[in-house]
C-alpha cells in the first residue's frame, strides 16, 4: 500500500545557495520500499531523494567522523588502523591539479596538517608544495596554514575522491554495506562503488555516469545540481565551443578539474546570473548526513561540499 502513496511533487524554489535563481527541487519519495523506488524513480529514470536520514544507520556515519570544536572532523584514531590502504587522492594547488595513489595515512596526515597547531616536524604533504613547510594553526582572522621562511597563504587541498570500496580493507568495507535498495532494485549486483572524503569546500565538476547511481551523504553537507541528458549535453557543448575545445563527453579526464574548462563548467552550472539560459532546467538537492539521492543513468550532475569541516559521501552504481 505504501507504494501507492503519491510521491511528493517536484517543486520550484529559490535555494539558499542560488540567490535569486529559482531551481527545481528533487522530489522526496514517501518511503524506502523497493516497489516505491522502482516505480517512482528507477524505472522512469527520474532523480529522487529517499526519505531524510534513511541511511543514518550506516556504521561509517558514527565511526568515521566526530565533532571537534563545532567542526566535523575525521576520526583519525579509528581510520589510522587502516593507514596502509592505498587510496586515490586529488591534490589541487591553485590552477594545478593531480590525481595520485597514496596511503590512507598520508591523506589523514594532510587533513590533520591543514587544521592542527604548529608542528615542528616537516610534513610530507605541505613540503611537496612549499619547501620546508610546516603546519601552523588557523585562526579566525587568518586561514594561513603554511609556514616556511615566510608565511605562505594556503593553496593546496586534498580530496580522497572516488576510492573503490572493493579496494578498501574489510573493516572499512563493513562500515559501508551495500544498501538493500541497490541489491534488489536493479539486476541484483553492484557495478561499482566509491568513497569521497574531504574538507569543505569540495567540488566535482559537471559529468554523467554510465550507470544509475545511489549517492549517500555520510557527513557534512553537499549540494547536487542535476540536468536531464539533453540539457547536460547542451551545457557541455556550449562550454566546449566557448573555450575552443572538442573533448568527448564520454571520456573525461583531468581537464575538468583545471584551467578554462573547469571555470567555464562551473560558471554554467553554478552561476546565479539571470542571463543563464539553463537556470529553468536546473534541478537541485541538498544532502546532510544520512540522506540519499538517486541519480538516473545519463543525468548530468555537479556536486559541491559546503559549510566548514569534513564532508563524506559514498555512492553505489547499479548494474
What are 230-269's pLDDT values in tens digits? 999 999 999 999 999 877 776 566 777 778 888 999 999 9
Task: Answer yes or no: is pLDDT of 144 > 70.
Answer: no
**Residue 74 corresponds to which cell in the numbers above?**
575525521
Report d(CA 23, CA 222) in Å as an integer. 16
Task: Answer yes or no: is pLDDT of 167 > 90.
Answer: yes
**pLDDT exceeding 90 applies to what percent of the chain?**
58
**Which pLDDT score, from 0 to 100, does residue 125 have?**
54
Buried b (16+ CB within 10 A) or exposed e, 151-163: ebebebbbbbbbb
Task: Answer yes or no: is pLDDT of 161 > 90.
Answer: yes
What mean pLDDT comes out for the span 194-212?
A: 93
Taking alpha carbons only, the member of 209, 203, 195 closest to residue 58 is 195
Task: Answer yes or no: is pLDDT of 117 > 70.
Answer: no
CA angle 236, 18, 95 (to 5 degrees): 55
Task: Answer yes or no: is pLDDT of 132 > 50.
Answer: no
Q: Which pLDDT band, with edges at 50, 70 and 90, does 22 fall under? A: confident
Q: Which pLDDT band, with edges at 50, 70 and 90, does 213 fall under? A: very high
**Which pLDDT score, from 0 to 100, does residue 12 have?**
54
Q: What residues contact 294, with CB distance under 8 A and at least 6 apart?
A: 37, 41, 42, 47, 48, 49, 50, 212, 213, 214, 215
Q: What stretch of H or E contains 136?
A: none
Task: Answer yes or no: is pLDDT of 184 > 50.
Answer: yes
Task: Answer yes or no: is pLDDT of 67 > 60.
Answer: yes
Q: Which residue has the higher pLDDT, 170 or 258?
A: 170
Taking 3-state DSSP, the helix, strand and coil percentages for the chain, each rounded to the nearest 5, stand at 25, 35, 40
The listed range with the strongest mean pLDDT (33-47, 104-118, 122-136, 236-250) is 33-47
What mean pLDDT comes out for the span 165-182?
A: 96
Let me know if domain 2-60+160-318 sits in CATH 2.60.120.650. Answer: yes
Report d(CA 235, CA 254) in Å as an integer. 18
Q: Which residue has the higher pLDDT, 248 or 170?
A: 170
Taking alpha carbons only, the member of 161, 171, 170, 198 closest to residue 65 is 198
What mean pLDDT comes out for the span 56-71?
A: 93
Report d(CA 65, CA 74) in Å as an integer. 5
Q: What is the mean pLDDT of the chain?
A: 82
Q: 77-100: per-residue pLDDT in tens? A: 999 999 999 999 998 876 778 888
Task: Answer yes or no: is pLDDT of 112 > 60.
Answer: yes
**Which pLDDT score, from 0 to 100, does residue 277 have?**
79
Torsion of Cα atoms, 178 then 183 then 188 then 191, to 10°: -40
> Coil, strand or helix: which one is 272?
coil
**Residue 179 corresponds to which cell in the numbers above?**
544498501
**Which pLDDT score, from 0 to 100, does residue 271 have?**
86
Torsion of Cα atoms, 311 then 291 then 224 then 159, to 10°: 20
Q: Which pLDDT band, with edges at 50, 70 and 90, does 111 fall under? A: confident
Amino acid at each position: 500500500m505504501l507504494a501507492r502513496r503519491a510521491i511528493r511533487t517536484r517543486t520550484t524554489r529559490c535555494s539558499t545557495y542560488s540567490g535569486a535563481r529559482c531551481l527545481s527541487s528533487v522530489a522526496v519519495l514517501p518511503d524506502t520500499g523497493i516497489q516505491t523506488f522502482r516505480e517512482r524513480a528507477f524505472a522512469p529514470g527520474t532523480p529522487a531523494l529517499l526519505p531524510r536520514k534513511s541511511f543514518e544507520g550506516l556504521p561509517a556515519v558514527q565511526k568515521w567522523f566526530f565533532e571537534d570544536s563545532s567542526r566535523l572532523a575525521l576520526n583519525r584514531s579509528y581510520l589510522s588502523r587502516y593507514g596502509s590502504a592505498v587510496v586515490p587522492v586529488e591534490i589541487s594547488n591553485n590552477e594545478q591539479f593531480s590525481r595520485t595513489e597514496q596511503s590512507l595515512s598520508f591523506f589523514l596526515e594532510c587533513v590533520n596538517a591543514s587544521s592542527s597547531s604548529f608542528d615542528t616536524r616537516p610534513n610530507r604533504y605541505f613540503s611537496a608544495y612549499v619547501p620546508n613547510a610546516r603546519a601552523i594553526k588557523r585562526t579566525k582572522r587568518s586561514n594561513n596554514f603554511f609556514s616556511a621562511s615566510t608565511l605562505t597563504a594556503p593553496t593546496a587541498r586534498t580530496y580522497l575522491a572516488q576510492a573503490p570500496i572493493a579496494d578498501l580493507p574489510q573493516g572499512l568495507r563493513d562500515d559501508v554495506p551495500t544498501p538493500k535498495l541497490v541489491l534488489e532494485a536493479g539486476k541484483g549486483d553492484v557495478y561499482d562503488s566509491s568513497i569521497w572524503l574531504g574538507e569543505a569546500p569540495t567540488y566535482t565538476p559537471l559529468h554523467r555516469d554510465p550507470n544509475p547511481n545511489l549517492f549517500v551523504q555520510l557527513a557534512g553537507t553537499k549540494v547536487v545540481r542535476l540536468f536531464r541528458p539533453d540539457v547536460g549535453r547542451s551545457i557541455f557543448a556550449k562550454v566546449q565551443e566557448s573555450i575552443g575545445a572538442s573533448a568527448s563527453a564520454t571520456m573525461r579526464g583531468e581537464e575538468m578539474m583545471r584551467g578554462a574548462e573547469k571555470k567555464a563548467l562551473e560558471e554554467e552550472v553554478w552561476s546565479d546570473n539571470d542571463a543563464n539560459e539553463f537556470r529553468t532546467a536546473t534541478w537541485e538537492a541538498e544532502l546532510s548526513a544520512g540522506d540519499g539521492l538517486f541519480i538516473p543513468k545519463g543525468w548530468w550532475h555537479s556536486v559541491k561540499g559546503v559549510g566548514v569541516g569534513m564532508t563524506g559521501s559514498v555512492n553505489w552504481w547499479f548494474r
